[in-house]
Amino acid sequence: MHKVDIAIVGGGMVGLTLANALQALDIQVAVISDKPLSKSLPNDPLLRVSAINGANATALQRLHVWQRMEQSRLAPYTSMTVWDKDSFGEIHFNSADIGAAQLGHILENQVLINALAESVRGQNVTALQGQIAKVLWGQQETMLMLDTDEVVACRLVVGADGANSYIRRQANFPLTFRDYGQTAIVANIHCEQPHDQCARQVFTPHGPLALLPMADPHTCSIVWSQTHEQAKHLLALDDTAFSHALTATSNSVLGLMSLASARQHFPLVMRYSRQWASDGVVIIGDAAHTIHPLAGQGANLGMQDAFALATAIENCLKANKDFSRLRHLRPFERERKAQAIKMIAAMDGFKTLFAGDNPLKKLIRGAGLTATDHLPLLKQKWLNEAMGW
Ligand SMILES: Cc1cc2nc3c(=O)[nH]c(=O)nc-3n(C[C@H](O)[C@H](O)[C@H](O)COP(=O)(O)OP(=O)(O)OC[C@H]3O[C@@H](n4cnc5c(N)ncnc54)[C@H](O)[C@@H]3O)c2cc1C
């Protein structure tokens, strides 16, 4: 039996960020994951990537995680262009506008996970591989039974086990969810012209297409969110026809595009857990909320949950309070729920405004984007929000 203070279920970006943030504290932590944490990286970029904002990059640098990542695979982006395919609206952002070296980085998720996993090894964190088969909740201690027959006893269980969280279900936390009515197609593409470290997004009536610049100047990762029906049609196309559709949708902004990988697809669902904490248990990351990827904020939000929870635990330790009790987890829950709701509302607003081809909406989009492009203070405020400052 492993006896620890905190058991983190889930070894994704969020669970491992928490494990790293807890490293300096005088407590024992276990990370339980049903998959191996580290994986060797292929030469070609992986399909799952995330735009990581400045606030999280800085926090990861302080933990010396950032420095452990394979630097050749980090893709900084220094500008951002967003346009509406159906109107004249366009807006540009530049890192120079806010005196920053870059607006963020596009990272392959596994590159970050590898660095996070490597960084906790040999510290006060035990990594266990296995799936949770049963949870026995106790007053002061919870037992987690793994399918490997190992048992973990802990004071606090942290569910960082993703969108279909087993821990959230076992804790009976009620969930609000809504189908966004879209499927995201993810792939890597080769573009004729260099991307110049610019992250681009075009809104079409069926949904947005993001072209995220990768480390190679002619490679972009795409997140193409379309209605389920339209996505089905795009997925059925052969590689050449798909590449043509992509080039046309992007207005040939990077010249001819050609598919350089397989295509993966994800149905997009908004999820919001109406309760995040109870005595002995708390959930973070996708276990607590999932949002539309159009602003690339899901993992950023989850990592901020992890840092906020680590701070709450540290403050409890300093004040000699029991961090596993709901009354001490409440301020964390309140603060992070408010941030998640704000982000869910913002994604709904964007999605509604940019959906469809209603002429009035097109006029508002076109005029709004172009007018905002000439308002440097408003753009700075948006950038600061997007960068998590
Ligand atoms: C198409 C797309 C594009 C996106 N782009 C961005 C972006 O640009 N920027 C951004 O910030 N976010 C982005 N996101 C969101 C981001 O991918 C997620 O928010 C993030 O991966 C959530 O991390 P997590 O650690 O909470 O959950 P997960 O990544 O789902 O990790 C959960 C972990 O728990 C493990 N697990 C699950 N159940 C169990 C169990 N019972 N026992 C043990 N282990 C278990 C899983 O194996 C997994 O390792 C995007 C999402 C999508 C779908």
pLDDT one-digit tens code per residue, 222-247: 999 999 999 999 999 999 999 999 99
Residue with tokens 């920053």: 100
Q: Does a structural domain hold residue 224?
A: yes
Q: Is pLDDT of 277 > 80?
A: yes
Strand partners, 272: 176, 289
Residue 87 pLDDT > 90: no
Q: Are residues 171 and 84 in the same domain?
A: no
In a domain? residue 74: yes
The answer on 215 and 225 residing in a single domain is yes
Same domain, 225 and 153: no
Is pLDDT at 250 greater than 90 in this prediction?
A: yes
Distance of alpha carbon 322 from alpha carbon 166, whole angstroms: 25
Report the alpha-carbon distance of residue 284 to residue 168 in Å, rounded.
10
Average pLDDT of the residues in 199-226: 96
Q: How far is the centre of ligand 1, averaged over its atoms, from the C-alpha of 290 (Å)?
A: 9
- Ligand 1 centre to CA of 309 (Å) is 18
Q: At 279, list the tokens.
A: 């005595």
Q: How confident is the model at residue 9 (pLDDT cuts 50, 70, 90)?
A: very high
Do 101 and 245 fall within a single domain? yes
The answer to whether residues 346 and 285 belong to one domain is yes
Instruction: From residue 219, give the alpha-carbon distance in Å to each of 71, 73, 198, 256, 258.
Output: 17, 12, 12, 12, 10
At 331, which CATH number?
3.50.50.60
Residues 111, 117 contacting (CB under 8 angstroms)? no
280 lines ligand 1 (CB under 6 A): no
Q: Whose CA is nearest to atom 31 of ligand 1?
A: 12
Residue 188's domain spans which residues?
68-108+180-268+361-386
Strands 79-84 and 198-204: parallel
Q: Confidence band (pLDDT; 50, 70, 90) for 99?
A: confident
Same domain for 97 and 72: yes
CATH number at residue 95: 3.30.9.10
Q: pLDDT tens digits for 326-360?
A: 999 999 999 999 999 999 998 887 777 777 777 77
Q: Is 225 in the pocket of ligand 1 (CB under 6 A)?
A: no
What separation in angstroms does the CA of 76 have from each of 2, 51, 65?
Answer: 41, 9, 16
Domain presence at residue 57: no
Among 14-28, 56-70, 242-256, 374-388, the least confident range: 374-388
190 with 337, same domain: the answer is no
Question: Does 53 map to a domain?
Answer: no
Q: In this structure, are 160 and 213 located in the same domain?
A: no
User: Does the beta carbon of 10 lie inside 6 Å of ligand 1?
Assistant: yes
Secondary structure class of 48 (helix, strand, coil) = coil
Domain contains 55 = no
Q: Is the distance from the beta carbon of residue 386 to the nearest atom of ligand 1 less than 6 Å?
A: no
What's the CA-to-centroid distance between 12 and ligand 1, angstroms? 6
In a domain, 116, yes or no: yes
Predicted local distance difference test score (pLDDT) of residue 336:
98
Helix 359-373 and helix 376-386: axis angle, to 10°? 100
- Tell me whether residue 295 is in a domain: yes
Distance set, CA 211 to CA 1, 161, 206, 223, 233 (Å): 48, 28, 16, 7, 20
> CA-CA distance, 348 to 342, in Å (whole number)?
10
Cβ atoms of 152 and 146 within 8 Å: the answer is yes
pLDDT of 197 > 80? The answer is: yes
275-296 in b/e burial notation, b at 16+ Cβ within 10 A? bbbbbbbbbbbbbbbbbbbbbb
pLDDT for the residue numbered 377: 76
Number of folded domains in the chain? 2
234 shares a domain with 201: yes
233 lines ligand 1 (CB under 6 A): no
Q: How many Å lie between the centroid of ligand 1 and the Cα of residue 138?
A: 28
Same structural domain, 148 and 263: no
Asked whether residue 213 falls in the same domain as residue 152, the answer is: no
Domain contains 49 = no
262 and 291 inside one domain: no
Reported as a pLDDT band with limits 50, 70 and 90, residue 29 is: very high
